[in-house]
A and B are shown apart, each in its own frame.
Chain A
């Protein structure tokens, strides 16, 4: 088993594999020896992908908007950096990313910024605090079980087979995997130990709408930029 590696998941819309290639290419530019696994659909894989990605897994990858959750517990790494496709790496400090993981925790993640969120992260029953678009996690059994539960519960959530008290937890949370993560972390026995990237945590997952001052004078290492509509809605 390889120690550390990055995991991309591209499903449902070809824009995601275009973005994954772009992101992985920037990763290899700044860290040529980094190890990358891509989960995607066989029909999307091109010859050049085998030069870019070290490991491509296509078997049984679901066509699903949260296929990422399905892939998480199938990581080939001891320590995995899950990274959304709509990202790119800015500099060589990426080589230090796995050193940011607190070995006493199971997952290292960055804080979500309310002002940049698509929904109101605060609700009567709690608050979504963790940005699930990039995180490092270990391969302990309980961590992988958490990831499995994340996928299974999300599927129920998406199909409306899991319902909750909407007085406390608003219905608008339904599309979001951050909500499923919050629930598992706060309301179930599957909870795993979380730590945050050291401050400024956002340098490891700098969403393009974040305020520059969040970086506290440092350079962002990973930029998270939503795929433009032109590409997302393109005829790929």
Chain B
């Protein structure tokens, strides 16, 4: 903890709670580490708290806090979108795999029934693939 005697700057502050009795910020020590700190006022007056409010007003902290919340929300939305994309990709892969498997069944492979083969290929979900594949197999058996 030798670095705490080094000169430091306070950076990137934002409110740590709704009551606005705490500020989260970074202490950037010259030639030392960057430490995240939670600063609150004290009965006898916390010098760090005072220092923060000599640099930023309460309104400026409101704006900085809102920006951080907006960034976090944007990141969460992007993560959610990526998760949904991945889910869609997996569903698409499963559907395509099911179609390839259906077409690899001998009786379907050998079938000249282009209509039903087309229905399997155009199926929108696994149930349709299975249903059309089963129907085609039944038709071929009945021949």
A residues contacting B by CB (< 8 A) are 18-19, 21-22, 25-26, 28-29, 46-48, 51, 88, 208-209, 225, 227-231
Contact B94 A228 (CB under 8 A): yes
A185 to B7 alpha-carbon distance, docked (Å): 60
Q: A26-B121, A88-B121, A208-B92 known; A227 and B109 CB under 8 Å?
A: no
Chosen A-B contacts, 11 in total, with CB atoms closer than 8 Å, are A18-B104, A21-B104, A22-B100, A22-B103, A29-B118, A88-B121, A225-B92, A225-B96, A228-B93, A228-B100, A229-B93
A209 to B99 alpha-carbon distance, docked (Å): 19
Q: Which residue of A lies closest to B102 (CB)?
A: A22
Q: Which residues of A contact B100 (CB under 8 A)?
A: 18-19, 22, 227-228, 231
Q: Which residues of A contact B114 (CB under 8 A)?
A: 28-29
Contact B94 A48 (CB under 8 A): no
Cβ-defined partner of A228 (8 Å) among B97, B109, B121: B97
Q: Number of contacts between A and B (CB, 8 Å)? A: 44
Q: A22-B100, A230-B97 known; A51 and B112 CB under 8 Å?
A: yes
Q: Which residues of B contact A21 (CB under 8 A)?
A: 103-104, 109
Contact B118 A46 (CB under 8 A): no
The digit string for B76-117, where 1 denotes a CB below 8 A from any CB of A, is 000000000000010011101101110110100110101001
Chain B 4-19 interface residues, beta-carbon cutoff 8 Å to A: none
- Extra contacts, 20 of them, besides A25-B121, A29-B117, A231-B97 (Cβ < 8 A), are A18-B103, A18-B104, A21-B109, A22-B99, A22-B103, A22-B121, A25-B103, A25-B117, A29-B114, A29-B121, A46-B109, A51-B112, A209-B89, A225-B92, A225-B96, A227-B100, A228-B93, A228-B94, A230-B93, A231-B101
Main secondary structure of the interface of A (DSSP, over half): helix
Contact A48 B109 (CB under 8 A): yes
Q: Which residue of A lies closest to B122 (CB)?
A: A90
Q: Which residue of B lies closest to A46 (CB)?
A: B109
Distance in Å from the Cβ of B60 to the closest Cβ of chain A? 38
A29 to B94 alpha-carbon distance, docked (Å): 23
Q: Which residues of B contact A230 (CB under 8 A)?
A: 93-94, 97
A19 to B103 alpha-carbon distance, docked (Å): 9
A28 to B117 alpha-carbon distance, docked (Å): 11
A46 to B121 alpha-carbon distance, docked (Å): 21
Q: Which residue of B lies closest to A17 (CB)?
A: B104
A125 to B92 alpha-carbon distance, docked (Å): 37
Q: Which residues of A contact B121 (CB under 8 A)?
A: 22, 25-26, 29, 88
Distance in Å from the Cβ of B90 to the closest Cβ of chain A? 9
A21 to B92 alpha-carbon distance, docked (Å): 19
**Max chain B CB contacts within 10 Å: which of A208, A225, A229, A231?**
A231
A76 to B100 alpha-carbon distance, docked (Å): 28
A-B CB proximity, top 3 nearest:
A228-B97, A228-B93, A230-B97
